[in-house]
Structure 1
Amino acid sequence: MSEDPDDGGRAPPADARRDEIGRRLEVADGLLCCLDFDGTLAEISEDPEGVEPLPACEAAVADLSEQSGTRVAVISGRALADVRGRVGVEGIWYAGNHGLEIHRDGETVVHPDAEERRSAVQSVCSAVSDRLADEPGCWVEEKGVTATVHYREAPAGAGERVEAAVRSAVRSVGDGLELTDAKEAVEIRPAVDRGKDDAVEEFRERVADGYLPMYVGDDTTDESAFEAVADDGVGVHVGDGRDTAATHRLSDPPAVAEFLEWLAESP
């Protein structure tokens, strides 16, 4: 992490470093701007099904995507169809399920190993739903080739019981699946070595070498993407900027909207 020694070791605010970022944009051949969805373009909600992007974020993404020499991609843990439907901006690239599903230039590709394990994920979802039937505030979000078990609304201490139930269900279907931690949730994924960093790298291969890569996100699952742009790009953590590989920070989704509009207006 690039730390600000005068600010408790946190990544410096992106707004305070606009001149620096602007200079890098001036010498770059273009911008590849990759964005998380929940907690970045949209506020975190106790009801993930009701989440929509902030209107200002949606407008900023649309404006930025229309700029010459700019490519915008949204990379989410949500299913591809879900995040595409919520963002609703045409002509940009999307990655769903942490990069296991990619949509670009009118074509959708699903990682073959993930597709092969789709039925195993469905079996685990069914088993977890049964085991957590008496746990208030817990629910299973089925996302096709992955799933997320949420306990944000559950009573304190429920997390350990949820994680134990999920581990037990995964063991019952054998090999081929893995678990990762998220914000008050557990992700069920095929055991495929692929994450948001791979989606970033795949999109980077589609633009010129001189494009400045940028990633904006808020979650632990975004850290691999921050690392993917750390050497030659800009990583922006949405939140307090602590314990992150990001080089800059923004406070919340409204700040993201303002930052994206600034990018769209930059020469």
Structure 2
Amino acid sequence: MVKYLFDNLEDMNKFKNDNNTAIITDIDGTISAIAPTPEEAVVTEPMRRKLIKLKEKFGLLAVISGRSANNAKKMVGIEDILYVGNHGLEYIFNEEYQVADEVKKYLPQIKKSAQKINEELYNIPCILFEDKEICYSIHFRQCNEPEHVREEIINAIKKSPESKNLQISEGRKLVELKPPSSYDKGTIIHRIIEDHNLRKVIYLGDDITDFDAFKKLKELEKEGKIQGTSILVLSSEIPNYVKNSSSFFVYNVNEVLKFFRWLLG
């Protein structure tokens, strides 16, 4: 059963006292409070200052987001850390931008499909469309009947010929159109661990898409390859299977900041 983090901080001492520990975190809902629209979300200055100190103390600080890598970097505003965007399809490290080769050929199709879906759903004013360069998100957080709107979004995507063979994924009050790819947050966590020869990893997330990262960390720890732990920022929107896949939970972004203060103490 997943445990409340602040009742079990003794379990985290092995990470706190080792400067080779890597900190990997999601952005929205984890180090930034969920906002009505993506543009309104911010990383506060107190959070940013703690992230800078984490970068200085520990072996690696990485941010993995559903946002584009460039948008994630602009939002967090810290140089010389690893930014992974669009759930692992692109990243920025040492000021170098890279995108997965396997997705490039689908970008024109994504744009065509996005245009078609936009035309299909234009009469639903509460929907927000977000072009993330590689992926395309349709947000329905501001809709009064979110489940009904979600079904309309899914149906619009499925009946669009331009969306054929593209991947549909879901997050907190959003549906996303993506290139077909094996990349997810679990895949990219594994890659980061191997590329940087990590042995201790703390991962923080708040969404359905973080399930893959939680699961991968447990697999790698069971295989004896790392010491890993995962922290879920709990919300009513999170299914039990996601909650139960994490090691610990906290209640909100303020408690994430509180944990970072403890980790730096």
Structure 1: segments with no counterpart, 5+ residues: 4-10
8 Å Cα contact 2:73/2:83 also seen in 1: yes
Structure 1 residue 180 corresponds to structure 2 residue 176: no
**1:8 maps to what in 2?**
none
Structure 1 residue 215 corresponds to structure 2 residue 197: no
8 Å Cα contact 1:31/1:214 also seen in 2: yes
Structure 1 residue 121 corresponds to structure 2 residue 110: yes
Structure 2: segments with no counterpart, 5+ residues: 222-226
Q: Judging changes above 3 Å, is the alpha-carbon distance between structure 1 residues 227 and 216 closer, same or farther for their aligned structure 2 residues?
A: same
**1:228 maps to what in 2?**
216
How many angstroms apart in 2 are the aligned matches of 1:82 and 1:224? 22
3-state secondary structure, aligned to 1:154: coil
3-state secondary structure, aligned to 1:233: strand
Cα RMSD, aligned residues only:
1.7
TM-score, with structure 1 as normaliser = 0.89
Runs of at least 4 residues of structure 1 off by over 4 A?
none
How many angstroms apart in 2 are the aligned matches of 1:201 and 1:125? 31
3-state secondary structure, aligned to 1:30: coil
- The alpha carbon displacement at 1:18 in A equals 1.4
Letter paired with 1:229: L
**1:6 maps to what in 2?**
none
Q: 1:1-267 to 2 correspondence within 5 Å?
A: 3=1, 11-26=2-17, 30-67=20-57, 69-156=58-145, 157-169=148-160, 172-173=161-162, 175-209=164-198, 211-230=199-218, 231=221, 232-239=227-234, 242-244=240-242, 245-265=245-265
Q: Judging changes above 3 Å, is the alpha-carbon distance between structure 1 residues 42 and 135 closer, same or farther for their aligned structure 2 residues?
A: same
Q: Judging changes above 3 Å, is the alpha-carbon distance between structure 1 residues 21 and 173 closer, same or farther for their aligned structure 2 residues?
A: same
Letter paired with 1:14: L
3-state secondary structure, aligned to 1:66: helix
- Determine which structure has the larger helix proportion and give its number: 2
Higher RCO structure, 1 or 2 (CA under 8 Å, sep 6+) = 1
- The alpha carbon displacement at 1:48 in A equals 1.1
3-state secondary structure, aligned to 1:243: helix
Deviations 1:119-175 (A, max 9, x none): 111111111111111112012111111111111112312221121112222xx1264
How many angstroms apart in 2 are the aligned matches of 1:110 and 1:187? 18
Letter paired with 1:80: A
- The alpha carbon displacement at 1:216 in A equals 0.2
Deviations 1:72-114 (A, max 9, x none): 1000000111111000011111100000001112222100121
3-state secondary structure, aligned to 1:181: strand
TM-score, with structure 2 as normaliser = 0.89
Is the deviation greater in 73-82 or in 100-109?
100-109
Letter paired with 1:66: E
8 Å Cα contact 1:151/1:162 also seen in 2: no
Letter paired with 1:12: K
8 Å Cα contact 1:54/1:253 also seen in 2: no
- The percentage of counterpart residues that share the same residue type is 22
Aligned residue pairs: how many?
251
